[in-house]
Amino acid sequence: MLVKLRGKSLSVKELEKISLILKSYKLKIGLGILLSLIIISFLEPIITRCVLGDMDPLAPGTFEKFLSPSMEHLLGTDHYGRDYFILVLMGLKNSLLVGFLGALLSTLIATLVAFSSGYKGGLFDTIMNSVTNSMLILPTWVILASIVLYVRGIDIFAVSLLVALFIWPGSARSLRAQVLSLKNKPYVDLAIVSGESDIEIIFKELLPNLTPFIMFRFSSLIIGAIFFEVSLRVIGIGASEYISLGLLINWFLTRGAIGAGYYHIVFPPIVLLILIFSSINLINAGLDEIFNPRLKKVTGE
């Protein structure tokens, strides 16, 4: 009777989980916003071609300076007389690209650090753990800024890599805690007894179980990567060859667009960044609601 009841409640739980994914309005709204932004940024080259034809979107003086929004220029033009709508699209594309690349690389670093130190333990673990903790505490962005400032000809991939080198510690720390709790589970003992090597255990036993968690960290790291990159560009660090939302903000702050009242220049990058950050945060909150049993138990959802 009890077993039957338990079996029943389990399957109900699974059903609940699926319906929660479908019902979670946070997840739906977040995914909806983020996906549309990604689709728009994928369409950027096509839109640029349709609007500007063969003209270089970055060439200064193509149009008049600071034109108001019109049918020809949906968001007007900037201080160099370039179509601002296209610039915003390029900025969106590059910012998202840095976000995903940076998050990918830093997830890789975090996973590597967490598994190599958490699984083996010992002196290496102690050292890596204090490095992680110190990097978490220190304002590493300032160091990153000083480095990026002096590296010449830096492109979008180099920036993503440098950003990734600085944002991994938070994820490494929480992943390591997961590895530590998992490696004492009976099924890992069983694997050790049955003669699996460390590599096999990590890839066959631990990694599959932590995949949802790593995905969760990945989406938080997107926020981190975009935050670091935009912050650099906002105060004017990085090559002006590639447009990012941060660079657009730097331009309107330093070229007097805000004081002169050209609000159509100010709003788009700000609104887009707020949309990016809040949509990813909504996705994370939605995932948390679904996968965190503690939250459910108490709130009775």
Partner 1 sequence: MRAKRYAAFLIRQILYYAITLYVSFTVIFFLLRLIPGNPIRIFQETIERSYGGTPFSDEVIEWFVEAYGIKDDIFTQYVKFFQRSFEGASLGPSFIAFPTPVEVLIRQRLPWSIVLLGTTTIVAWIIGIIIGTLVGLKRETKISDLLFSLMLVLSQIPSYILAIALLLLLAYVIPIFPPRGGYSPTVELNLLDLKFILSAAYHAFLPALSIILVSVCGWILSTRALTINILGEDYLLLAQAKGLRKSRILIRYILRNLLLPQTTGLMLSLGGIVTGSFLVEWVFNYPGIGSLFSQAIAFRDYNVIQGITLLTMTSVLTANLMIDLLYPLIDPRVLHEEVGKK
Q: Using CB under 8 A as the criterion, which residues of the chain lie in contact with partner 1 when the complex forms?
A: 26, 130, 134, 136-143, 145-147, 149-152, 223, 227, 230-231, 234-237, 249, 253, 258-259, 261, 263, 266, 270, 273-274, 277-278, 280-282, 285, 294-295, 297-299
- Residue 63 or 264: the one with the smaller Cβ distance to partner 1 is 264
Q: Which two tokens stand for residue 159?
A: 């920036």
In this structure, the dihedral spanned by the alpha carbons of residues 240, 280, 49 and 54, taken in order and rounded to 10 degrees, is 10
CA distance 228 to 59: 27
Taking the complex as a whole, the smallest distance from the CB of residue 97 to partner 1 amounts, in Å, to 19
Taking the complex as a whole, the smallest distance from the CB of residue 40 to partner 1 amounts, in Å, to 20
Q: Which two tokens stand for residue 260?
A: 């002169």
Taking the complex as a whole, the smallest distance from the CB of residue 274 to partner 1 amounts, in Å, to 6
**What 8-state DSSP symbol labels residue 262?**
-
Taking the complex as a whole, the smallest distance from the CB of residue 42 to partner 1 amounts, in Å, to 24
- Residue 47 or 285: the one with the smaller Cβ distance to partner 1 is 285
| Matching residue, tokens 């970055």 | 58
Taking the complex as a whole, the smallest distance from the CB of residue 3 to partner 1 amounts, in Å, to 27
- Residue 124 or 203: the one with the smaller Cβ distance to partner 1 is 124
Q: At 67, which amino acid appears?
A: L
- Residue 48 or 106: the one with the smaller Cβ distance to partner 1 is 106
68 phi/psi in degrees, rounded to 5:
-75, 160
Taking the complex as a whole, the smallest distance from the CB of residue 34 to partner 1 amounts, in Å, to 13
83 phi/psi in degrees, rounded to 5:
-65, 115
CB 57 within 8 Å of CB 48:
yes
CB proximity list for 16: less than 8 A, separation 6 or greater? none
Taking the complex as a whole, the smallest distance from the CB of residue 21 to partner 1 amounts, in Å, to 18
CB 154 within 8 Å of CB 238:
yes
- Residue 116 or 278: the one with the smaller Cβ distance to partner 1 is 278
- Residue 141 or 213: the one with the smaller Cβ distance to partner 1 is 141
Q: Could you tell me which residues are beta bridge partners of residue 83?
A: 77
Q: Could you tell me which residues are beta bridge partners of residue 77?
A: 83
- Residue 142 or 193: the one with the smaller Cβ distance to partner 1 is 142
Rg of the Cα atoms in the chain: 24
